[in-house]
Structure 1
Amino acid sequence: MMRVMVVEDEEMIRKGIVMAVDWAALDCIVVGEAANGEQALAVAEDCQPTLIITDLKMPKMDGLEMVRRLREAGSRAYVIILTAYDSFAYAQTAIRLGAVDFLLKPFHDGDLENAVLALQKRIAAQTAPQPEPLPGVKPGPKSRYVREAMVYLEQNCGSGDLSVGQAAAQLGLSEGHLSHLFKKETDMTLGAYLTRCRIQKAMALLREGKLKVYEIAEACGYRDIAYFSGTFKKITGKTPSEYQDSLSFRF
């Protein structure tokens, strides 16, 4: 559950945010509120918020200075800035200080809730377990784009029409840029990873023993069974039939 602190010098707006938003539905709880940045520093020390929703222009201390001091004190709270000033300079400074969103006042019903939901999705994506790497993939943490490329290839490897270009387009990157990132972080090309995804899927289907070899080839994106068998043997050291026989022998 996210611990929310609301910082706003206009009491009606501050109380409106605290009372009108269904925080429980957002898996949040309001743990503190303040009328200016100076007051907010003391409140934050007591309530330890994980999300700060703050106005920009306030008496005594503005929102940016408040966030700057919180960062210096070690706070890693997420920050959503509220402001009536459509200023690129303010936005730049807010982003440098780690603000995750920048809402212009007056904002409409649902805008703040959507900003919180978008933040929660980002957090979930960042903290989601990484896909189990296939054999041959360089160990270590992977960037978001590489993780998403791995998942996309694993989920769609049964399509014979799947290409590296499609994966790149799905992620909104150029094929060259994604290929460079993927090779750098995995020590494997996207094409090689796709092949390994297909062979891993084939091995799983062979272990199930419900399909014929040619049906498994088709289910794994191969139209040519001879090419499938050759690729399978190159990676596993056995033909599909030999692999299936070795499973039978174990039992």
Structure 2
Amino acid sequence: MYQVMVVEDEQWIRGAVVKMVEKLGGAFEVAAEAGNGEEALQAIYQVWPTIVITDIMMPVQDGLWLVREIAERRLPVITIILTGYNEFEYARQALRYDVSDFLLKPVLEEELSKALEKAKERIPQFHKLRQYYLGIQLYFDKITEYDAQSLFEEQGGLVSRIINAADLQESEKNVLLRTFSGKYNELIQSMQPGYARIPAAAGGRAEEIRAHFLKLTEEWLQCYNAMTSGEMRQIIRKVCDYLQAHYHEELSVSDMTQRFHISVSQFSLLFKKYTGQSFINYLNALRVQQAKLLLVDGERKVYEVAEQVGFQSLPHFNRVFKQMTGQSPKEYRKWLSV
């Protein structure tokens, strides 16, 4: 099954594209949605979709920014651009970022199907790299859960797997090592303003590369130990209280970081450490729990329940609800015999 992400700020267009993908079925399923390029990039590192379908014109960060970030970071993601007649010249700039296809709005189901099949042909070239990227992401997802000894062991094992990978070319190893190093530097920089990035050691001798990542891990531990104070616990507690009261509103990581004056990287790390879940999983769990209570009321339509608890589209609500409960909202209601 190939995971698809749909990125579009206009909810009705996004919902229409999501429905088309789900109607096509087969090898494709929608794994995530986003309203702008910044949200989408954050979600990519959590969901790791195979294909991203993105609008070109969006607020905050647009689709051109997103496909450029995907290309420059060498992420194993295939991109498809949505564009209007008056945006096509602008969209053509995306050609330099190895976009798979362009779809003219309003999107036709037949054209979408062709674009997805075309994208599928490119998937094998990303498969082997994808496994290593997932390993890097898993390391950062769990970085706050490791004690110092485990952290050094996990980091050392990951670096060794990349250096010694028989199925990778040297250029591919260098890309992976630069990605690993870059994410580490970004993480430390977000916690320690003024931090001087440690230059990537990709391309050097194995001993130099291992020493480079050892130093990064030491820097991270120093920053993290200084950051996890009582004040930070209070911030996350306030965030959780806010979500409990405002779960039905349209919320994002950016909203929380601006409201509570904390960097995105700090927020993501601390939220996971103190709640045991990512922000989006925590918020979705709140919404699904409230939806269960509302579904008991047989007078409400399922789409009304979805809107009331904060989901922007019915397909998204159905997908998240089933992921979390094992049943669709209609199946859950029937199970309750409502």
TM-score normalised by L of structure 2: 0.34
- TM-score computed with the length of structure 1 as normaliser: 0.45
Rg bigger for which structure?
1
